[in-house]
A and B are shown apart, each in its own frame.
Chain A
């Protein structure tokens, strides 16, 4: 058996084992996409660059966007591997593997080599994204700083992951601050028109600082320092009030919800508010921001962009992070049911019900915070066209009709997010990584395929068949529901009495939604049968029913 000499080789080999599949996935992107660009894009467009704006033909954009999404996902996975992710993100302890801490190597070597490898790979991945996947006309001049920024960001993310923190959320906040500072440096340098070599020197300094911070962090973690508050002085806090063990929760459901809220409540608001808070900060402290932005050949109002970010961020988060809320602890990588819960006498349906309640509370918190931020932004004196406030504009054009629509949208948005999230719970509740990957990548593929098909579909011939298509979808939903309900009854997860009750509730929701939309919608826009089919298709049923079934398969393997 061949042995590995030296820490550089050993750490390199360990990182290679962790990242080889992701690196292997990058190769096809690096080889196939330029080929596609050569063969397809030039053939269709007559030149190498594909159009950035949405002008026909669409397929070059679709191909490149798909490749871009895949590369960005691989890039994020690579980052997590180079940070040795896998521990509790909200934990105070260093994420650096314990077995490596006991190796007879200096902390500097333990940190420097993975930082070097990680930064290099991230810079190369960034090179791929910027110079192969993005259209040339997206930039007036090809920037070099994103490469250095990617390398510096990877190094700082590693340093932050490996530092011990005495406050639980400090790691997440530090990671966000690093992202802002590292990217902000490049943006600032561009705005001030610094020379490229100066920016690169700046980033080398940032990398060196990351190395120092990482080494310091790992040294402290090796000594076991850093997880206690500097003010606690090692003293153990004692509760003055005696703890009475006779006090307990009202029910098992209350206990389940309590744990859900302790571990899974702040994840979505935290992630979804990062973008809006940054944007709010920019607007609040940068009064001279441009009133319009030139985006791919079109002038777009900055107010529209800001409002889209405020509204879009929680919507995107509920679409992307939705299934994560099904984990028993969002901050941990495990997707299996922990023994602590699996061996308790509680039904799978009760566990799912607690998760759904928590998702509802999470969405309410997220949207309340978003609306709060949106109102604060709206009253800024420069929020509309630099010289006026959005609140002033709204006040000037206030009507009861607008208020009613505003309220409907304000209530509808959290409800839609809740729907997205609870419909995806089953994917994570099943507890198998392959299903999560299959559904994630499968959804992206289906949407891209549907977009492509929509372009080529002979719509004029299809329109007369739309009611039949809708009927077919409704029938398919019904058949799938019957299959799932049978499985639920067979496994004793749903009693006939409860099934009857839920069916009535579901029908009432469908009926009331159909009547409401029918009252609002212009009768010429959509036939009432087509509308009924759309409502039946929209109101969640099958994927909700799948949740306890998936949990059953996870709990009793």
Chain B
């Protein structure tokens, strides 16, 4: 590597370059098809700067497609995608210099050694912080002389994470980064998100199947299903907007009752339990209107909301 020369180290943890005038990500009415399959169907989403948005959804729901639109790797057939007010397809250099990206399969070249990878990536970012990179390398216990193909899946994810963080991006995009990884690597990824949040004004967009993680670090949660956003709100608001209610009828019933906002029914005879996408008081009123007695009512965690939403056919917003 003869073309190497010492680089000027930038200040540790510089302030965010995002001006704050534009949201970090703005997606408006984006539609995308792959052949017959509608991957994204009129999706709109806004991610203000400084927030952490967790994107949840089943496999094939459209999470990766949405993220690839944000990265400019896919072009919107209809609609508009803006990252810090810029079009990621027309201005990839300005946009990508502000984004740190890590996907489930980091797609790192197996023939490269870890130190070669770090130097290669560093060449693209004027804001690369060599000291921070060194610190992350030590934290992650990465062997610099090892070839990437000889690293374990967890070590590869750590190498990818180092490359996504060392230039202190304004927007961190993580596409199911912890999928198939052990708890220690998952902890590393979560700490990275938390560290990024701690740096003022930085934004995180991450998709995951592990809802406990999403719940732990996200300010906002968006659920995507069949290419449509089912809900997008703060974690607390999402929890408040869903409830589980158990009701009892005087007479046994063959079919579950029809109640507005019911996502999933369980039970038989006189007693039925529903997961509902309405606040607790509305659910109680609906039950009373049917002449049923409320036996039990409880809050739901994200896992339960996700399961109920995923089980429901279609992807229309309630």
Residues of A within 8 A of B (CB): 88, 91, 237-239, 243, 245-252, 254-255, 258-259, 262-263, 329, 338-340, 342-347, 491-492, 555-557
Contact = CB atoms under 8 A, between A and B. Distances in A.
Contact of B92 (A237, A238, A246, A345): A345
16 contacts: A239-B145, A245-B115, A245-B118, A245-B133, A246-B130, A247-B6, A248-B7, A249-B4, A252-B124, A340-B108, A343-B99, A345-B92, A345-B94, A555-B92, A556-B74, A557-B73
A88 B107 CA distance: 14
A342 B73 contact: yes
B125 A340 contact: no
B92 A254 contact: no
B116 to A, nearest CB: 9
Interface string B1-13: 1011111010000
A259 B110 CA distance: 13
A91 B150 CA distance: 13
Contact of B122 (A249, A338, A340, A342): A249
Contacts of B272: none
A339 B144 CA distance: 22
A252 B3 CA distance: 11
A263 B111 CA distance: 9
A361 to B, nearest CB: 14
A263 B125 CA distance: 23
Given A329-B109, A343-B71, A345-B97, A247 B4 contact: yes
Contacts of B71: 342-343
Contacts of B97: 345
Given A247-B5, A344-B96, A556-B75, A339 B145 contact: no
B145 A249 contact: no
A267 to B, nearest CB: 14
B128 interface: yes
Contacts of A555: 72-73, 92
A343 B121 CA distance: 10
A338 B119 contact: no
B93 A346 contact: yes
**The 3 A-B residue pairs with the shortest CB-CB distance in the complex, in nearest-first order:** A255-B123, A345-B97, A249-B123
Interface of B: 1, 3-7, 9, 71-75, 89-97, 99, 101, 103, 106-111, 115, 118-125, 128, 130, 133-134, 137, 144-145
Contact of A255 (B94, B107, B120): B120
Nearest to A239: B145
Contacts of A340: 107-109
Contacts of B106: 339
Nearest to B90: A492
Given A342-B73, A345-B92, A555-B73, 17 more contacts: A88-B110, A245-B119, A245-B137, A246-B130, A247-B1, A247-B6, A248-B5, A249-B4, A250-B123, A252-B123, A259-B120, A263-B111, A339-B103, A340-B109, A347-B92, A556-B72, A556-B74
A434 to B, nearest CB: 14
Nearest to B97: A345
Specify which of B107, B125, B133 lies most central, judged by the most chain A CB atoms within 10 Å of its CB.
B107
A237 B71 CA distance: 38
B120 A249 contact: yes
A556 B122 CA distance: 23
Contact of A243 (B95, B96, B144): B144
Contacts of B111: 262-263
B133 A250 contact: no
B130 A345 contact: no
A254 B122 CA distance: 12
A255 B7 contact: no
A329 B112 CA distance: 12
A140 B6 CA distance: 70
A259 B1 CA distance: 11
Specify which of B91, B93, B94, B108 lies most central, judged by the most chain A CB atoms within 10 Å of its CB.
B93
B122 A248 contact: yes
Contact of B96 (A262, A345, A492): A345
Contacts of B7: 246-248
B9 A246 contact: yes
A145 to B, nearest CB: 40
Nearest to B72: A556
Contacts of B89: 556
Given A259-B120, A263-B111, A338-B107, A248 B128 contact: yes
A104 to B, nearest CB: 25
Contacts of B123: 248-252, 254-255
Given A246-B7, A329-B109, A255 B124 contact: yes
Contacts of A251: 123
Contacts of A245: 115, 118-119, 122, 130, 133-134, 137, 144
A88 B110 CA distance: 10
B4 A248 contact: yes
A238 B123 CA distance: 25
A555 to B, nearest CB: 7
B159 to A, nearest CB: 11
A212 to B, nearest CB: 29
Contacts of A343: 71, 73, 96, 99, 101
A492 B122 contact: no
A555 B1 CA distance: 28
Specify which of A248, A344, A346 lies most central, judged by the most chain B CB atoms within 10 Å of its CB.
A248
Contacts of B134: 245
Specify which of B90, B109, B122 lies most central, judged by the most chain A CB atoms within 10 Å of its CB.
B109
Contact of B5 (A250, A262, A338): A250
Contacts of B5: 247-248, 250
Specify which of B7, B73, B111, B123 lies most central, judged by the most chain A CB atoms within 10 Å of its CB.
B123
B73 A491 contact: no
A258 B145 contact: no
A556 B96 contact: no
A258 B120 contact: yes
Nearest to B121: A344
Contacts of A255: 119-120, 123-124
Given A342-B73, A557-B73, A347 B120 contact: no
B109 A338 contact: yes
Contacts of B101: 339, 343
A493 to B, nearest CB: 10
B119 A247 contact: yes
Contacts of B72: 555-556
Contact of B124 (A238, A345, A492): A345
A282 B308 CA distance: 75
A188 to B, nearest CB: 39
A536 B192 CA distance: 56
B85 to A, nearest CB: 16
